[in-house]
Structure 1
Amino acid sequence: MAPAPRAAIGAPQLDRALGDWQRAGQGPAYRALAGGLRTLVLDGRVPVETRLPAERELSAALGVSRTTVAAAYELLRDEGFLASRRGAGSWTALPAGRPMPVAGLSPFPTDGGGVIDLGVAAMSAPEPWLSEAMAHAVAELSGYTRTHGDFPAGLQVLRQAVADRYAARGLPTAPEQIMITSGAAGGLSLLLRQLLGPAERVAVESPSYANALQAFRFAGGRAVPVPLLREGWDLEAWSRTLRDAAPRLAYTIPDFHNPSGLLMSEEERRELVAAARSTGTLLIADETMAELCLDPGLVGSMPRPMAAFDHSGCVVTLGSAGKTFWGGLRIGWIRATAELVRRLAADRASLDVSSPVVEQLAVARLLDPEVLPEVLDFQRERVRAQRDALVAAMRADLPDWNFRLPSGGLSLWVRTGPGLSGSALATTAQRHGVWIGSGPRFGVDGVLERFVRLPFAQPAEVSREAVRRLAAAAATLGSAPVGAATPTSEVTLL
């Protein structure tokens, strides 16, 4: 039996999303309408399992005959992009057997033989600061070696350093509100174990961070996508989803969103927190990119953390040293109520017990107010140069690919050229020596097929070579139809 719809879209909203779908040369009106609706699904702007308006309602909104809408719906049903049931209406779907690509979700094997890894948005370590911090940590280690070494909530010195950093960003925080975790991924896993029951809903942005979406699936949760607009968050859609879908949790990346690079304004944060509070939804704010502001004029005026607008404990914050400093540290943190931190620490004994002491001491050193500004200046300057090099190469070698210039973060969210499938491109790109993440990895149901994520975490010369290889891969694909399914053998790379 086909799954029931998870959300609905009204005729006026769908009319706006379709835009100018009746362009000259599109053929019969019903085919043009079906093509527009298909594109909305593949781009993720209308999520899979969204109920579409009734034929009569949509025909009135579009100013076309009901016959046109009925024929378009019938074509989409034949193609597998629409499912219907008597009494339940029609809702968006994907063709049966459509494979989910795996390219770019994990780091490429280190013995990859010259393949450039653009799948992972993470940088090499900032030196000499990291080595100096590790030396400092080893010198401090003797103060902890007389203990058992297990600190489920984290070392007090690091909890205090993280709390102080929140305070400096406009969010007064006590160390009792901080729990140190094995990276942000470890923090998210702890939260899901504690807070998410089987088949409970999680509202997420579309696109969203691929590994977080995977974590929700492994935890047995059901992600409910809320499409991002080009200019930012659709707060009307968020309010409607929180009200109608009643998700247990909501997950958002407000600071230099991964993968789009968008930055949520303070007013948007205030409004989203209010919507979550009104529906009893716990809001997880992933701030792992918050320190990577690349606009010098914005550094001193960044929006306050989302929890600054929360006075009821409905916001839990994830942070990490991985993007700011180096992923090899594997140190992250949760900011929550002191009561939730105590519950998480008690639950941790059955997972990973605690985080390594030396790495915690090193991160505490890197967060020292006498060290941190210099490290951040270095990181931001090199990431900015890498971003600009990647952008210049894209504009020179792939001028018909579209993206917005992000003011922070580590990646470009790129709409590929006409007729290019992100999944097919990822497969072909590996054969040309470059590893990328295709758009469907960042969506809930295999949509976003026209997109790829391209991190600017590599040195400039490496990014330029990667773009040359991407251009060569794209040239071999020509104008393969975006909606066409790729054989499973073509997308299973490892």
Structure 2
Amino acid sequence: MAQGISAVRLAGLCGDVRDGRGPAYRALADAVRVLTADGRLPSGTRLPAERALAEALGVSRVTVARAYRDLRDEGWADARHGAGTWVRLPGGSGGVDGVWAPGPVDGGVIDLAHAAPAAPAELAVLARRALDRGTAELAGHGYGPEGLPALRAAIADRFTARGVPTGPENVVVTGGALHAIGIAVAELAGAGDRVLVEHPTYPSALDVVADAGAVAVPVSAGDDAPPQTVLPRAARQTAARVAYVMADFQNPTGRLLDDDARARLVQRLARQGTVALVDETFAELDLRAGAASPAPCAAHAAGEDDVVTVGGLSKIVWGGLRIGWIRAGRGPAARMRRRVARAQLGLPVLEQLVAVEVLERIGALRAERVAVLRSRRDRLAAELARTLPGWRFRVPDGGLALWCDLGSHSSTALTAAAPRHGLVLAPGPRFGAGHAFTDRLRVPFTHPEPVLAEAVRRLARTVDDVHGPGVPAGPGGADPATRAGVVV
């Protein structure tokens, strides 16, 4: 059995279960179910004693006991006399326990929890070319944690073409962008070191920081508190070693920083001794027609060690192509290659060969992907505006999702009810710390347009199920990246 969670911590994750949207016991059971499903409560986590949790939540012990009973009846918890109650994933739930990643879904179920587009048709052709190219590799031993020279050169050339002169010695090949983030955090921050993260942010980045033993410090950033201002201020106040940022179509808000903001951000962080760890996973997903993309953050750095950049092919090509990279100064890059080598003696050769083919065709692949996503984004925005007019959102210039303000609707309650309507959702709090963003929902536009239209119809039925038919969302709340987060 995993270790337990304190009553205070669980209450912080669950939020106010007495918000009047339904019985408190049901709100508590829904919150625990959602926390278990999205990995924040790994299976086996022991729940607090009923009396302690009731006190932390400000409810009766009967309320907690009823919630625990419902969780057991529905297969989301087990109990043993003298050992307490612990959460578990019901059989056949799919996925990997405690991990934020897409899992298998039943036929007909629409996954709106993860922004994971299907592969482009051309990828099959490029894979066959990679097989032909790989014939010569079969004569060798197949090991090589440093990455194929051809791939490192192709990644370096791509950075150079985007305005950041880069050589293969600056490149670390990894098993995807998340692996790259993990390697970079482990290199840049030790146990107990502070890592600034935007609030909201990419959920798996929070998990990686925790796994490294570092302390994530959430910093609210938005129109009234831009990252180039609040992150350096927080770095000065906390002596943070690293600041994890997404300058390109931030996940989940979709915000894009211009060149001036990028320059101010990285230079001000550097003056505080804080390395900017820049996630460029969405950098190629600029959906603006004819607009020039800002230069990479590394182009604005005064020193080569001020910025470490990570990226990968999962969003621009396919999640099943687990190739990512790190761009860093020569010294840090060499140390990070050693970290990769200690963990795995060889990266998948065939996938690297496919990645070389992909990077040689990145312009055409990007154009195809962008055209499709632009159309899907506009369709989703139109369907939501027509079907759920009380929800508010900005149509982003790029990325893969809309970040919706639900007004008085609860994304946690919707997530708990969604499976009854053939949907998988990710609650807003999964993108932050504690129970912030309960009134926010990220809705990806990665599915084909007819599927998106059906998904919105199912969302509307879910809203009616939770809040009653015809009940409007009510006035929207604060901007998702300002008041809901933790300001340092």
Q: Report TM bin, short chain.
A: 0.7 to 0.9
Letter in 2 for 1:307: A
Matched, 1:349 2:341: yes
Matched, 1:278 2:271: yes
The residue number in structure 1 matching 2:188 is: 195
Q: Per-residue deviation at 1:240?
A: 1.4
The residue number in structure 2 matching 1:121 is: 115
The residue number in structure 1 matching 2:45 is: none
Matched, 1:389 2:379: yes
Letter in 2 for 1:354: G
Distance in 2 separating the partners of 1:2 and 1:239? 34
Inter-CA distance 472–456: structure 2 relative to 1 (3 Å threshold): same
SS at match of 1:400: coil
Alignment of 1:35-434 (within 5 A): 105-110=100-105, 112-127=106-121, 129-230=122-223, 233-298=226-291, 301-312=292-303, 313-368=305-360, 371-416=361-406, 418-434=407-423
The residue number in structure 2 matching 1:69 is: none
Gaps of 5+ in 2: 1-5, 9-54, 59-86, 90-96, 478-488
The residue number in structure 2 matching 1:95 is: none
Q: Per-residue deviation at 1:278?
A: 0.7
Gaps of 5+ in 1: 4-76, 81-98, 484-494
Q: Per-residue deviation at 1:267?
A: 0.7
Cα-Cα RMSD: 2.6
Inter-CA distance 104–142: structure 2 relative to 1 (3 Å threshold): closer
Inter-CA distance 310–341: structure 2 relative to 1 (3 Å threshold): same
Contact 2:229 2:265 in 1 (8 A): no
Match of 1:444 among 424, 429, 433: 433
Q: Deviations over 1:333-362 (max 9, x none)?
A: 000012112111112233233321111111
Q: Per-residue deviation at 1:192?
A: 2.4
Inter-CA distance 230–464: structure 2 relative to 1 (3 Å threshold): farther
Letter in 2 for 1:126: P
Contact 1:284 1:315 in 2 (8 A): yes
**If the length of structure 1 is used for normalisation, what is the TM-score?**
0.74
Distance in 1 separating the partners of 2:452 and 2:134? 39
Q: Per-residue deviation at 1:188?
A: 1.2
Distance in 1 separating the partners of 2:295 and 2:229? 22
Letter in 1 for 2:352: Q
Q: Deviations over 1:393-445 (max 9, x none)?
A: 101111110100001010111111x3211111111112211111111010022
SS at match of 1:235: helix
Contact 1:108 1:435 in 2 (8 A): no
Letter in 2 for 1:434: L
Distance in 2 separating the partners of 1:372 and 1:205? 29
SS at match of 2:138: coil
SS at match of 1:236: helix
Contact 2:221 2:230 in 1 (8 A): no
Inter-CA distance 336–113: structure 2 relative to 1 (3 Å threshold): same
Distance in 1 separating the partners of 2:249 and 2:225? 11
Inter-CA distance 474–104: structure 2 relative to 1 (3 Å threshold): farther
Contact 2:231 2:243 in 1 (8 A): no
Contact 2:156 2:171 in 1 (8 A): yes
SS at match of 2:135: helix
**If the length of structure 2 is used for normalisation, what is the TM-score?**
0.74
Distance in 2 separating the partners of 1:122 and 1:431? 22
Contact 1:104 1:438 in 2 (8 A): no
* Identical positions, percent: 39
